[in-house]
Structure 1
């Protein structure tokens, strides 16, 4: 009986220390390609809806002004002093709008662009149907907040189009300028926020004394050029 026990014990120990050998194979690698072409927008294609509630222009093409605001200034009474009134945006589809403008650059060239604006005289008629001009009136636009439609991407301020505070007159004033290499895609300027996004009320109309009572209106012409100026 002792011999049998000894043989069984040795067999168990031997089995516990048995090591299986294996063959190590070399890795196998390969490369492939992924291709894609991005083309400029057609001359009669495109058209971008406004991001903010700003009246759309309906413009199409590779470089467009998508939306621009009309400005409404509240009625004021004549006094012995000059007046400064704060503007509001015209309604958009029956709801409150935002004062601003929007540009789309779908050229893909990075050539840059400039958005400019100028204004006519404020003219109107009084109760006697006599033509009047609002003499000395000045409409000012603030620097505004500049943002892009691509909310998933953070763009450094240095790479954004630059907004300028301007006083409009009969000569084009530069409102928004995209330097070469910047301004691709959809960009808007919000005049109701400052450059840091804080609310402001800086769209203003200055009216000096000595004007006739009347309902006045002016036309703002917006121009988008194909390079920074």
Structure 2
């Protein structure tokens, strides 16, 4: 009788031990599953117009440009009017109600190649007499503030090419630089009310106008 009891106990204990080993083995065997995702550009043959970075305070007018790399919008400047004085005259561009002054660029290439914005300005000519020129007039574009869309990589912003601001002239001048792996997505360089016109003394009265040409180049060095 004792042998029977001992034998039965041994069988039970062995079964429990084997069960424990099996459970232990199942909990330590790893298995890898996979997660996949493809990130691709939009169809370059059917690109979309990019929306404003800040719908409550957009840059206008929109350019209507489409593509993986585009200037979406860039401001015109209204410097108002001033009375002739004996010396230099300065004026700041007015900010339209509900807007800001600046430029918006979008890079959807997904390559991190970088880009560059250049600008040049024609002579200020009188609207009724194009032989009358606002001699020596210059426009200074400030460093401004770089703003991107919600969730954008704020640590990889473009930069102003000149840390003191840039005076644009009749030759193309580098204004904004997006170095390698920066400037991806949509970015606004917000100039607020700091775009400044400087007019030296000795000019004639008139109603003057100039054209500003903005060029976006697909390298950070600014060379085509």
Larger-gyration structure (1/2): 1
Name 1:155's counterpart in structure 2.
154
**Corresponding pairs, count:** 192
Please list, as runs of the form range in 1=range in 2, the aligned pairs for 1:12-51 lying within 5 A after superposition. 23-24=19-20, 25=23, 26-27=26-27, 29-44=30-45, 45-51=47-53
Structure 1: distance between partners of 2:183 and 2:144: 16
Name 1:203's counterpart in structure 2.
195
Shift of 1:202: 2.4
* Aligned counterpart for 2:59 among listed residues 54, 63, 77: 54
* Aligned counterpart for 1:222 among listed residues 214, 218, 223: 214
Q: How big is the alpha-carbon RMSD for the aligned residues of Structure 1 and Structure 2?
A: 2.0
Q: Does 1:87 align with 2:93?
A: yes
SS in 1 for 2:140: strand
Please list, as runs of the form range in 1=range in 2, the aligned pairs for 1:136-155 lying within 5 A after superposition. 136-149=136-149, 151-152=150-151, 155=154
Name 2:104's counterpart in structure 1.
102
TM-score (norm 2): 0.78
Shift of 1:182: 1.4
Shift of 1:208: 1.1
Deviations, residues 172-219 of structure 1 (Å, cap 9, x unaligned): 111111111211111111112xxxxxxxx4211001111111111111
Unaligned stretches of 5+ in structure 2?
A: 1-15
The 8 Å contact of residues 103 and 188 in structure 1, kept in 2 or not, is answered as yes
TM-score (norm 1): 0.77
The 8 Å contact of residues 152 and 185 in structure 2, kept in 1 or not, is answered as no
Deviations, residues 29-76 of structure 1 (Å, cap 9, x unaligned): 432222221122333413211224111111111100011011111210
Distance 1:48 1:154, change over 3 A: closer
- Richer in helix (by share): 2
Distance 1:102 1:88, change over 3 A: same
Shift of 1:82: 1.1
The 8 Å contact of residues 122 and 133 in structure 1, kept in 2 or not, is answered as yes
